[in-house]
A and B are shown apart, each in its own frame.
Chain A
Amino acid sequence: MNCKYIQDLLIEFLENNLNQEQTNEVEKHLTTCENCRNEYQLAKQFLHTINDIEDEQPSANLSVNFNQILEEEKENLRQESIQFKDQKQNNYKFGEFLKYAAAIFIIFGIGFLLGKNSPSTNDQNMIIASLQSDLNNMKQNLTMATLKQPTSSQRLKAVNILEKQAVADDKVLSVLVQTLQSDANVNVRMAAANALTKFAQHPLVRNAYLEALKNQKEPSIQITLINILIDIQENRAKILLEEILKEDNNLPVVKEMAKEGIKVFV
């Protein structure tokens, strides 16, 4: 038996990483070869040295600096989101201004025409009110049309505008729901999910959340949906959460959320 061959296997032998056949070979050889027995002792000592290496402690600076880096990055993140909001609001304000200008113009214009035909003030108020609601509808339609835009940032903006509306009719809701179910971009779907929380008492919205949870597989949206469903106390979600737990493809973090959710609904 070749001693070099045996000595080459000693580390693996010591760590039980050899197959049965090799193990037997080494054992057999060690009983007969004193030289290799010495090598075996040395290898053992060497492994002990390696395994005995203790980690050294870095100075306290390291943690301090890490926290500083973390805070800086958090600040960057905040700045980014503020900038994004500012941008959004500025663009929006200008559009708003144009719309109001147009509204005033139209109302005065029509008022002038009506004034010529001199109906009662009451009638005028009625007409103005109906014009205003028409205008709002137009604004809404425009925004909803934006949801068909090709770029996700425009669609995101549209969802944000729709979210700001105090009251939403079925049309707005159904557009948002459709966005939640089928927009190509996960961030837009997420924004739609969040926008809809304001109208979570509406059965259409509740059903949409359940439907979305059933169909959508991105972890981030799954987590958002589970959180919302827990918030709005939608007990029907329980069955879906159990499904999520059973599904192998779901991420552990999602499953963990689902588990917490199930507890809430018991």
Chain B
Amino acid sequence: MKNRDDEQLMILVRSGELNALSPLFDKYHIRLYNFFLRLTKNQSISEDLVQSVFRRILTYRKTYNEQHKFRSWMYQIARNVHANYYRDNKLVISDFSEPEKIEYETDSAIEEMEKESRKRILYEAMDGLQTDQKEIIELSRFQGLKYREIAEITGLSETAVKVKAHRAINKLRELYFKLA
């Protein structure tokens, strides 16, 4: 089952072969977790949100249309899950809490510390972006999606996505060096 592509697996899930979702979970759950982690800065919330995404995929499996990439559909669901989360919890956590610290076991401690501090600055800089800019950075940079896919997910035109991505990355660069 592992060597089938995402869309083939999702077609199987749609037809009631639910086990076909496992390889998709294996492939995407870490990426999704980090997607939510960067947006919420909270580990347990992020885990909950990843679960919500896969729960929805199961619930709405019959509506999957293989004309679309599974990945785009999944991120569409992830965006909705995130939006609902904020609607239901009006408090905007991400603006207030520090990213939680991760323990590294490493010999090159200094290098790791530097890396860690660059990362913290980057995340702090991201908090200075507007929500839609943050999202486009997340999708285009950290999730590695193509502009065409982001266009499909967000409902914008590909050109609009390109322009937005360009502005967002330059804005982020500016904010980053203000903090660095």
Which A residues fall within an 8 A CB radius of B? Answer: 8, 11-12, 42-43, 46, 49-50, 52-53, 55-59, 61-63, 65-66, 69-70, 73-74, 77, 219-220, 251-253, 256
Interface flag for B72 (CB, 8 Å):
no
CA distance A77 to B30 in the complex (A): 27
Stretch of B2-10, B79-87, B89-97, B152-160 lying at the A interface:
B2-10
Interface flag for B54 (CB, 8 Å):
yes
Within the complex, the shortest CB–CB distance from B173 to chain A, in Å, comes to 5
Number of A-B contacts defined by CB within 8 Å = 89
Q: With A49-B122, A253-B11 in contact, is A70–B5 under 8 Å at CB?
A: no
Interface bits B1-40 vs A (CB < 8 Å: 1, else 0): 0001101100110011011011001000111011001000
On whether the beta carbons of A61 and B47 are closer than 8 Å, the reply is yes
Interface flag for B68 (CB, 8 Å):
no
On whether the beta carbons of B66 and A56 are closer than 8 Å, the reply is no
The residue in chain A whose Cβ has the minimal distance to the Cβ of B7 is: A252
Out of B4, B12, B43, which one reaches A58, CB within 8 Å?
B43
Query: B11 contacts which chain A residues (CB < 8 A)?
Result: 219, 251, 253
Smallest CB-CB A-B distances: 6 pairs: A253-B8, A58-B33, A49-B118, A55-B34, A73-B58, A62-B47
Query: B12 contacts which chain A residues (CB < 8 A)?
Result: 253
On whether the beta carbons of A253 and B122 are closer than 8 Å, the reply is no
Interface flag for B146 (CB, 8 Å):
no
**Residue of B50, B102, B141, B170 most packed against chain A (CB within 10 A):** B170
Query: A52 contacts which chain B residues (CB < 8 A)?
Result: 115, 118-119
Which B residues fall within an 8 A CB radius of A? Answer: 4-5, 7-8, 11-12, 15-16, 18-19, 21-22, 25, 29-31, 33-34, 37, 43, 46-47, 50-51, 54-55, 58, 66, 102, 115, 118-119, 121-122, 141-142, 166, 169-170, 173, 176-177
Query: A70 contacts which chain B residues (CB < 8 A)?
Result: 18-19, 21-22, 58
On whether the beta carbons of A252 and B8 are closer than 8 Å, the reply is yes
On whether the beta carbons of B122 and A50 are closer than 8 Å, the reply is yes
The residue in chain B whose Cβ has the minimal distance to the Cβ of A7 is: B170
CA distance A63 to B33 in the complex (A): 11
The residue in chain B whose Cβ has the minimal distance to the Cβ of A59 is: B47
On whether the beta carbons of B176 and A65 are closer than 8 Å, the reply is no
CA distance A55 to B27 in the complex (A): 13
On whether the beta carbons of B169 and A11 are closer than 8 Å, the reply is yes
On whether the beta carbons of A59 and B43 are closer than 8 Å, the reply is yes
Query: B50 contacts which chain A residues (CB < 8 A)?
Result: 58, 62
Within the complex, the shortest CB–CB distance from A69 to chain B, in Å, comes to 5
The residue in chain B whose Cβ has the minimal distance to the Cβ of A11 is: B169
